[in-house]
Chain A
Amino acid sequence: MTVDFIFDGLNQLFPEFAGNDIFLIIAMLLPVAALLGFITVYGFGVIYSEIKVSSFIQDKTGPMGQGPGLHAGKWGLLQPVADGIKLFIKEDIIPASADKPLFILAPFLIFIGALTSFIAVPFGEKIIITDMNIGIFYIIGVGSLAVIALILAGWSSNNKWALFGGMRSAAQIISYEIPAGISLVVVIMIASSLNMQEIIAYQAGGLFNWIIFDNPFMPIVFIIFFISVLAETNRTPFDLPESESELVAGFVTEYSGTRYAIFFLSEYANMFVVSAVAATAFLGGWQSPFSNFLNSPAWGVFWMMSKTFFLIFVMIWVRWTVPRLRVDQLMHLCWKVFIPIGLFNVFAVAIWIVVRGS
């Protein structure tokens, strides 16, 4: 939507050059630049909130801006800024026995995987970079690029802990894509479309039109989807690949400075994307919970952001509440618990739709 909007706008502003390729390129680059800006600000915000929320859960106060000199601002607000700058000016170490091209390529790949799924996320009624008619399918597909990046990172570090971390992470991600996909299949069945905006439009009309309240199986579907995407983004309780006590730091053991910052940031970007998908598919996207009240396009952005950030908060909350799962418990949970329940849900909802009429 947005790209078309800018393209049309530019055509109207400069009618003599209408249809030029340059306009198309500008129309594509401007939203991406805005997106990068959004990701940066969001990155600082979510890192700050993770540190603060985790500290409050542990009965601490977290960074409060104390220390000598001009320190981290009031309530530690400048702490993530300091973290970012410090990471960028650190020495860049590439281990001598590491596979150099792959080592350098891995952080790029993972960031590409996180970034390209942003273009299908609907921020508001008309604010989506490209409104593809296979929106959800695209996001699931592109999100799997992270697997390649993790294996590359683990392998090229030439470090046995990193290798274990990378392999485990790859196994975990490709296993948990299946329950996530199955849950989204249920949503697609109900909304009869893969297009993100159409799925949201299906849920118009207030709180009880949201897909999560559509039939009694939907809460289970939502829970399975949410836990599966927790595993996809390597968050606790599934953060075995980057666990501290077991594998020194998992697949990021050998990364320092900027490269580590990119891994770090892409994990949070991934969190945003999957929360946005969950909010779109189950919680109504930019629809307001009241059918007539607060329903304008501007309020749509607010509702979408608040639902997404609420889900991110739940992810952070779960991380500091629940202990970590062992790798065999993780696999057992996926293949022996989630997939059967997911498949059962598909059949049950299909029968429900046929019996009740859609």
Chain B
Amino acid sequence: MLKRLRNCSLYRQLIIPMIGIGLISLLGTVYFSNILKQSVAALDTIYVDGDIRLHNLEQIERRVTAYRALSLRHLTTESFSSMEEINRQLQQTRLEILDALPGARPPPAATEQPVPESDVYTHDLAAALRSYFAETGVAIKLSAEFEKEAAFILLSRVESKYVPRIKEITSQLIRHEFEDIAVSRQILMSVATQNLYITIAIGISGGGLLLLIAFAVIRGVTRRLSRLLIWSQAISEGNYSAPLTRNSSDEVGQLTQAMMEMADSISDAHGKLERAKKNAETIAETLQIYANAFENSGEAILITDRNNHIINVNTAFTRQTGYELADIAGRNPRILSGGNTTIGTYREMWRALESNSFWQGELWDKKKSGELYPKWAAISVIRDPDGEVLFHIASFTDISDRKAAEARIEHLAHYDMLTGLLNRFSLESRMEQAVLAAKRDNQQLAVLFVDLDRFKYINDSMGHQVGDQLLIEVASRLKECLRESDIVARIGGDEFVLVLTGLKDTNRVPTLAGNIIDRISQPYTVNDNVFDSSPSIGISIYPDDGDNIDELLKNSDIAMYHAKDQGRRNFQFFTESLLVASEERLDIEHQLRSALELDQFELYYQAQVHTQGNHIYGMEALIRWNHPVRGFIGPDRFIPIAEEIDVIQQLGAWVIDEACRQLAIWKQTTTNPLQISVNLSAKQLHSDSLIETVREAMERHRIREGELELEITETATMSDPELAVRQLNRLSQLGVSLAIDDFGTGYSSLAYLKKLPINTLKLDRAFVGDIENDRNDAEICMATIALAHNLGLKVVAEGVETTTQRDFLAEHRCDYLQGYLFSKPVPPDAAGALLEARDAPRETETCR
């Protein structure tokens, strides 16, 4: 078989095994790419399934809230027929929730995993929901029997038993869903990668085998050729009787045959040659030395005659340019020219050759392949003793490598490696030019500071590689939005700076910024992940917002932060007031420390009234900073800073003492009981000195039990519940009434509140606002009032501004109200006047 193959032509010896192996490789490749395709399809299914399950979980969360609202509404409904309607909705919502429950999932393809943790959670969720529905059902049944009281107690127990658990499991499930998708994706990725490797391996081994065969065939040919060569050497050495056998009928065999015939003719010619040779030998020896030097020179050398026609080139030249001597002999070297060298350079060159007979410099020439390349040329003119030109000798060095290296260094210094945009350094120099140009031409510049929202989140959650890809894509989108003459730079992380140059006016800047926001906010696809990002843009204008680059950049940065504050995904122009705001904070920090000594704080008082009758029962003390320059500063602006720089303890102690002092003054003139409320910050609650401060203030001003109320936020108690309970108990023992300030932010924590010795809940103003906006939430909140009454707590609603709100709160038995509808916070004198007015109508009742 092998022997028969050897008698085939060389073409066949190569092509037959090649086709065979090629077919096998092709089949392998097709097979494994098919598996790869299946993996990708499986991945797609996982995403779609995951998406559906996530959607269902969100549905469940939403409907559970609706179910809770309905069940609470059932409890507050007094007519049986309305209850039946609500009960029907409850049943429907319950069925919808159970329908949306996730089933056990089929395990992802190509993996052997143990039962996923999330299935356990699914089971738990179903169990928790069923128990919740069953026990809520009991409460609803009680409610339908008009046993509202018992129903409230049962429902509040059921809610605190199941709702946090259901929320917890649902969020666990959502988290697991995300993790599962990630795990499946990784598994499939590794399968896909493995397949890819196998496919590549088949390709490489197929190619290798082909090379091997080609090598074997060529090796056979060359061995025979070298035998032929040895034989032909023998012939050339004059041994015409050297033996030669022909052992195959392929091309080499035919060549052997031909050469044997040729050897005979050569033998004849040899005699004639022998004679000529003797003459030539003497000349050749001399020439050989020069030729060697010429031929073996590392530099490309080209020689032209006096008319500048090429007469010789060396091997190095051929290596460099690709031109053989035969290609260009007799031609003008002009044909080598690449066209990138200026006419001036050529003129200069000829002038130098004329006068000095030597020129060197850089030329851009073209290779035979058409590729342009820079070379260093040294040209000498050889003249005879009369000065007539004999030859031109030119030597060339290819300097493209050096050139490329130089260009790369240049690029690195001026451009951002990742995105290819300008870096900070060159941004500054380009901006400087732009500012100068704008100044000269009396034009404007717009500097846009672009920061990606949520970039850190994307980077952290999806990896740097994805983050980098995102930045590259953002860079290319930014470039698309701008003109060639505008400047785009990345100056760090996810921060980009755009400079719009040569503006006559800035009318079009908002439109452009809007376009950029739209373009950057389009979804991104990186490694099969689709996600959103959006920019926040701050804009400063030359010369309005600064006449140097530092100021322009700083101000656009400030404007960008303002855009972030405004809810991201928008653009903001720099204004002086922004600068003022950022300086203001520093200012406040400095002056806060001395403000107490300088007596710059002042307490204002806001009345709290009985829901029935609107008469005042208490005053909430609210601190204000009477700043000598800035005027009144509200607590929301300086309290967080005071907490940060630890002035809060002194400040808090002052507020408690001052409020008690004011109460003592009012007690002398009013006959009706009055309570004063003071806000405590989280740091104050956790402070060791709090109890002593309160005790001292109460003793000093003879404040009795129940006259001082301290308001704390729910979150303040949450950070260290044990300490909070201890502190609150001690305050309670002092006779201080305690209120939760921001109640309504976490419904399920009512069970937790039971553990605290509090007397009052203050309904957050946001929830009072909801009365006119979101009835569903408002109703949950109002049912909470009913539950709070069950715990024996008072309820105060804050921020009551309209009669609609007042009527709704009165209808739902809220005890006390506070807000602009009754009185805004006023200075002590005005508050005293309110109290006097209060006492008057009360007396009316008694005397009537």
B is bound to A: no
Q: Which residues of A pack against B, CB within 8 Å?
A: none
